[in-house]
Amino acid sequence: MIDRSEPKLISGNSNGPLAQAIARRMSLHRGMSVSLVDARVERFNDGEVFVEVYENVRGEDMFIIQSTSKPANDHLMELLIIADALKRSSAARITAVIPYFGYARQDRRTKARTPISAKLVANMITQAGIERILTLDLHAAQIQGFFDIPVDNLYAAPVFALDVKHNFRGRLQDVTIVSPDVGGVARARELAKRVGCALAIVDKRREKPGEVAEMTVIGDVKGKTCIIVDDICDTAGTLCKAAEVLMEAGATEVHSYITHGVLSGPAVDRITKSVMKSLVITDSIAPTEAVQAAPNIRIVPTAPMFAQGILNTWKGTSVSSLFDTETLMPIYEGLYSE
């Protein structure tokens, strides 16, 4: 039997501030101090990961908070080795809370003789003894089927809907939600439905990978405030180009809401110099100093949502209730109060 006296959290090195924020948020919910389990996650001189847990976890319901963000391989190995340490220490159940699931873009074979790395990572996580996954905005929903364990995929759309309604109140009739490609239409339509706005699409045609040859706007954006919605922003080339195309099509201003701000290479510089008025990302990936200093990048916290998701998992209550904006409204009351 799982000891349900209190859930216990442990974190790797991928996103310490988010792990601490989740623990603080759970403390508010529980009315008692919830802190991260005392442990060390270090490297030997040759780069090997070493984990030592200083507290007793026998019979405990453990939650590992670890994004597999850059450096993806190091953080993935930390997750696997922490899970092995907990399993060998007789933890009753191990849940991996993975705010950003790396390798998710490798979910199918696009060419001959290429891997399906997302499936390989799913196998590794399952074999490490992890019994449940709690994640946010998987790049491809079918990745849930790669696991033989339960996967709860939370969505940023309800939180983004609160943010849009708060920051664009009084002018929502002039807002159009935009998908940056045909593949992301379902995600954009979901947010458009939540905020009651029109939908447009930027159709892009590539001549070769990594290069955007041509972009066309499908839908009327003239005189509109456009909000681009996507799950991942990596180098920001496509995003900044889409913003330019929308402005050329007559949009008055362009904003973007992206769940996972990978923001590698020249991304921050591109965004700072782009025509976009703002880029809103979550803290699923720990922001760099450059991201924090960028004047037009804003970060929305995910700790309230993950804290509630962990509590619901621990208590055995509905996690899908967090798909509703109305459910999240009281959780985010401090941020979006009228």
pLDDT for res 305: 95
Angstrom distance (rounded) from CA 14 to CA 71:
8
Of the candidates 245, 231, 240, 254, the residue with the CA atom closest to the CA atom of residue 184: 231
Measured in whole angstroms, how far is the alpha carbon of residue 287 from the centre of its chain?
12
pLDDT for res 96: 98
Select which of 70, 165, 204, 241 is catalytic.
Answer: 204
Question: Is 8 noted as a catalytic residue in this protein?
Answer: no
- 10-residue stretch averages of pLDDT, the chain, 338 residues long: 72 96 87 87 95 96 96 97 97 97 92 95 97 95 94 96 94 94 91 95 71 79 96 93 95 97 95 96 96 96 95 93 87 78
Q: How far is CA 209 from CA 110, 204, 205, 236, in A?
A: 11, 12, 10, 15
pLDDT for res 206: 61
Angstrom distance (rounded) from CA 66 to CA 109:
27
pLDDT for res 203: 87
- The DSSP output letter for 298 is E
Instruction: Please name the residues in contact with 316: beta carbons below 8 A apart, sequence gap of 6 or more.
Output: none
pLDDT for res 1: 44
Angstrom distance (rounded) from CA 314 to CA 6:
8
pLDDT for res 209: 54
